[in-house]
Amino acid sequence: SVDAQGEVFEGTMDEDSAARVAAILQERGLQVSEVAPLALHKGLPFLRTPLTWEDIHLLNQQLLVIVKSDLPFVPALAAMATDINNPRLKPVLDGLKRDLELGTSIEQALQKYPDSFPPAYISMVRAGERSGNLAGVLALMENQSARVLDARHTLRTALAYPAMVLVSAIGVMWFLCVEVIPKFEEIFAGFGSGLPAATQFWVWVSHIVSGYGEWVFAALVACVALLVVGLRVSRQTGVGREWVDLIIERIPLIGRGIFLTALARFSRALALLLSSNVPVLESLDLAGAASGSALLRRHARRVARDVAMGESISDSFAATGYFPQLFCWLFATGEARGHVEDTLFDLSRSYEQQAAFHDRALGQFLSPLLVVSVALLVGWITIALYLPIFSLGDAISG
């Protein structure tokens, strides 16, 4: 790309198409000479070390303080990089400082670290810079990262005891399958009596564990590794991200919270952009990207296409069949009264509260669910082992 002074620029940008990249660069007053797809980063996806939510939350807090205090951005970022010894975050901060010293925007600097930041994070910063309300966007992301950390802490606390019970139960089951169950089979084989169906099942499991235990364990590890790598690779393409998001949103208990979080991000980002007089079509595209859901972004782009053809925004939302009816109805009401931004801010707060409540309820529900599941499993094994004992008298009397 070439600017008005004839200076040549090169860089990378995380977008779905070359046309979108060219449009963004032209909006910035650059003459686009070539847009080429970037090769995948070297190294296996599961070997990369992206920033954790703790790192992102810390970065959000520091950036928000810098922006709200009107401090010189580059010196403040340099001081922050000096004080932080985090081995993941410090190299990123040093790189951001160097890029900002060269005059690049925060969004452009972040785009050079696609493996460190989630795509939604970069899109939200872009929306904040484009709307002139970077502080509001950073505050939103700080609240979001704090909510994620709180939800994870709640889940870890709730699942700590069930996890210990589950590990102990697996150890007991392994011992029973290897040492105890085969003894029952030998005893009843001597009496010529068949084992009950439940006991037969655990005898079959015992044979597999005793004869192929190492292979079973290796197969389970391989399946988990393939699943993780498959998810990472799938997210390298737009279609793959949409399919992954669709599957995740359909997962019982978990998908609802993820959908609510994406909808809250979309609503708040769209409100920020519209209140800053950003064009509607561009606002829909940026808000869709800021949601963090490729599926929601596709529907937001569909809404933008319908609006460009003369449809109202509320009717376009309803036509997708993806957005909740309450969202469409409240948006239509706000659109009719001329208070769309206020309606979207109210919707975002509502969805954030629903997502937080969902996360707390999920943590409180999973703990007893796991305990009951382990108890049922152990009870099943116990009953299966005692069933032959109950019929031992019949076997002896023959």
pLDDT tens string 116-172: 776 667 777 777 777 777 787 788 777 777 777 776 777 677 667 767 777 877 787
Q: How many CB atoms lie within 10 A of CB 362?
A: 19
Q: In the block, which residue shows the tokens 């980063």?
A: 41
User: What whole-number distance in Å separates Cα of residue 305 and Cα of residue 328?
Assistant: 17
Beta bridge partners of residue 277, listed in sequence order: none
The rounded radius of gyration (Å) of the Cα atoms in the chain is: 28
- Contacting residues for 141 by C-beta, under 8 A, at least 6 apart: 56, 60, 121, 124
User: What whole-number distance in Å separates Cα of residue 145 and Cα of residue 60?
Assistant: 8
Tens of pLDDT, residue by residue over 90-119, are 888 888 888 887 777 787 888 777 777 766
Confidence of residue 41 (pLDDT cuts 50, 70, 90): very low
Q: What is the 3-state secondary structure (H, E, C) of 281-348?
A: HHHHHHHHHHCCCHHHHHHHHHHHHHHHCCCCHHHHHHHHCCCCHHHHHHHHHHHHHCCHHHHHHHHH
Tens of pLDDT, residue by residue over 253-307, are 788 888 888 898 888 888 877 877 778 888 888 888 778 788 888 898 899 888 8
Amino acid identity at 319 = A
Tens of pLDDT, residue by residue over 195-245, are 677 777 888 888 887 777 778 778 888 988 888 887 777 666 667 777 888
User: What whole-number distance in Å separates Cα of residue 347 and Cα of residue 267?
Assistant: 7
Average pLDDT, the chain: 76
